[in-house]
């Protein structure tokens, strides 16, 4: 496994291997790796000759400086996990390597970025697009792997790839949500949950699963109210939003269309903000 700190050196190495017909899969991460990340890496390894993982805690996507500061960093363990998975290249740049100067670019995602997460984390997706567009240019992968756990991010990245990269060279691959045994969606933030909040957090996915299964018995408004009410009945949890949206436009729907509608939620468990989603069929 080779570790790169500089864009120029990893770009050069990758482009020379691509000239020899080697295909590249790319898994962008912010570190604090867990089984969710591992599943993306395994998928990339199964579909490409070489796999590149980046670890970069991107400051421009944090609208809250405290959240950036508290973001878990576990570099040594991350490198061990990545090495054990057989990753070929790791890209771990310093902030100054990615942002030698302030990135002033504003992306336009036709409103995809202004609902849900965008409403509560203004500027978040612009920051995500800034870093992912830079990483795409540096790595130039054949395929890039993203988790459905970040459902809205996936939609934004797909649009970025289409609008700003012409959908030509990079195929975006969506990977299923990996969950803990009790159903909680894996997240780097889970390590920050107190034992009590960790116990409560299971109610998020369990409530979503319950109404995913019984969705036909309710209207969209009833589903929204019931999910929020049941989660907030736990004193350790506070729902920020629960929206039932169209998979492509991310606009709220009035009626569930099986296979085309997803319920997306953000919940505070103490001061830890968790997101999850379920698709309705
Ligand atoms: P992050 O390090 O949180 O930026 O995540 C890096 C990638 O891993 C993103 O594409 C996430 O959607 C994905 N990911 C994070 N958690 C999970 C999970 N539990 N299941 C599947 N993918 C995940």
Residues 60 and 103 in one domain: yes
Alpha carbon separation from 12 to 19, 137, 138, 188 (Å, rounded): 11, 12, 9, 31
Give the chain as a 3 state SS string: CEEECCHHHHHHHHHHHHHCCCCEEEEEECCCCCHHHHHHHHHHHHHCCEEEEEECCCHHHCCCHHHHHHCCCCHHHHHHHHHHCCCCEEECCCHHHHCCCCCCCCCCCCCCCCCCHHHHCCCHHHHHHHHHHHHHHHHCCCEEEEEHHHHHHHHHHHHHHHHHHCCCCCEEEEECCCECCCCCECCHHHHHCCHHHHHHHHHHHHHHHHHHHCHHHCCHHHHHHHHHHHHHCCCCEEEEEEEEEECCCCCECCCCCCCCEEEEEEEEECCEEEEEEEEEC
The domain total for the chain is 2
Atom of ligand 1 nearest to the CA of 176: 21
Assess if residue 280 is contained within a domain.
no
On whether both 166 and 192 belong to a single domain, the answer is no
Do 23 and 103 belong together in one domain?
A: yes
Select from 145, 175, 205 the last residue of a domain: 175
The whole-number average pLDDT for the span 219-233 is: 98
Q: What's the 150 CA to ligand 1 centre distance in angstroms?
A: 7
Q: What is the mean pLDDT of residues 56-80?
A: 95
State the average pLDDT over residues 82-110. 98
Residues with CB under 6 A from ligand 1: 29-30, 36-37, 39-40, 146-147, 149-150, 175, 177-178, 185-188
What does the alpha-carbon distance between residue 66 and residue 173 come to, in Å, rounded to a whole number?
31
Mark which of 175, 200, 216 sits at the end of a domain: 175
Q: What is the pLDDT of residues 20-62, one digit of tens each?
A: 999 999 999 999 999 999 999 999 999 999 999 999 999 999 9
Atom 19 of ligand 1 has which residue's CA nearest to it? Answer: 186
C-alpha distances in Å from residue 151, one per residue of 20, 57, 226:
35, 19, 22
**208 and 156 co-located in one domain:** no
Residue 246 in any domain: the answer is yes
**Residue minimizing CA distance to atom 14 of ligand 1:** 147
Domain check: are 169 and 213 in the same one? no
Nearest protein Cα to ligand 1, atom 22: 147
* pLDDT above 90: percentage of residues in the chain: 99
Residue 269, pLDDT score: 98
- Asked whether residue 180 is assigned to any structural domain, the reply reads no
Q: What is the pTM of this model?
A: 0.98
Tell me the best of 32, 37, 68 to mutate to test the pocket of ligand 1, counting ligand atoms within 8 Å of each CB and taking the most. Answer: 37
Please give the number of the atom of ligand 1 that sits closest to the Cα of 186. 19
The alpha carbon of 217 and the centre of ligand 1 are apart by a number of angstroms equal to 32
Residues 99 and 215 in one domain: no
Closest residue (by CA) to atom 13 of ligand 1?
A: 147
Active site residues: 37
Containing structural domain, residue 37: 2-175
Residues of the chain with pLDDT > 70, as a percent, come to: 100
Distance CA 171, CA 104 (A): 26
Asked whether residue 166 falls in the same domain as residue 209, the answer is no
Q: Are residues 32 and 124 in the same domain?
A: yes
Same domain, 169 and 218: no
Predicted pLDDT of residue 236: 98
User: In which band, very low, low, confident or very high, does the pLDDT at 153 lie, cut at 50, 70 and 90?
Assistant: very high
Query: Residues 194, 167: one domain?
Result: no
């Amino acid at each position: 496994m080779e570790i790169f700190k500089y864009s120029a050196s990893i770009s050069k190495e990758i482009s020379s291997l691509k000239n020899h017909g080697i295909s590249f899969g790319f898994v962008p991460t912010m570190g604090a790796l867990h089984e969710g990340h591992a599943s993306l890496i395994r998928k990339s390894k199964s579909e490409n000759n070489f796999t590149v993982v980046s670890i970069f805690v991107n400051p421009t996507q944090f609208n809250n400086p405290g959240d950036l500061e508290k973001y878990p960093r576990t570099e040594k363990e991350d490198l061990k996990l990545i090495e054990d998975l057989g990753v070929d290249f790791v890209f771990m740049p310093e902030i100054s390597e990615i942002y030698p100067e302030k990135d002033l670019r504003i992306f336009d995602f036709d409103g995809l970025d202004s609902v849900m997460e965008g409403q509560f984390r203004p500027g978040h997706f612009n920051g995500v697009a800034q870093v992912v567009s830079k990483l795409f240019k540096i790595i130039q992968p054949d395929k890039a792997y993203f988790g459905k756990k970040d459902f809205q991010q996936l939609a934004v990245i797909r649009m970025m790839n289409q609008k700003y990269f012409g959908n030509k060279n990079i195929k975006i691959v969506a990977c299923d949500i990996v969950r803990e045994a009790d159903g909680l969606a894996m997240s780097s933030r889970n390590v920050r949950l107190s034992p009590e909040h960790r116990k409560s957090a299971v109610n998020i996915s369990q409530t979503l699963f319950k109404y995913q299964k019984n969705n036909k018995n309710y209207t969209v408004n009833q589903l929204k109210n019931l999910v929020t009410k049941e989660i907030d009945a736990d004193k350790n949890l506070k729902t920020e939003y629960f929206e039932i949206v169209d998979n492509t436009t991310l606009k709220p729907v009035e009626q569930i269309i099986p296979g085309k509608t997803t319920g997306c939620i953000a919940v505070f468990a103490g001061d830890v903000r968790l997101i999850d989603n379920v698709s309705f069929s």
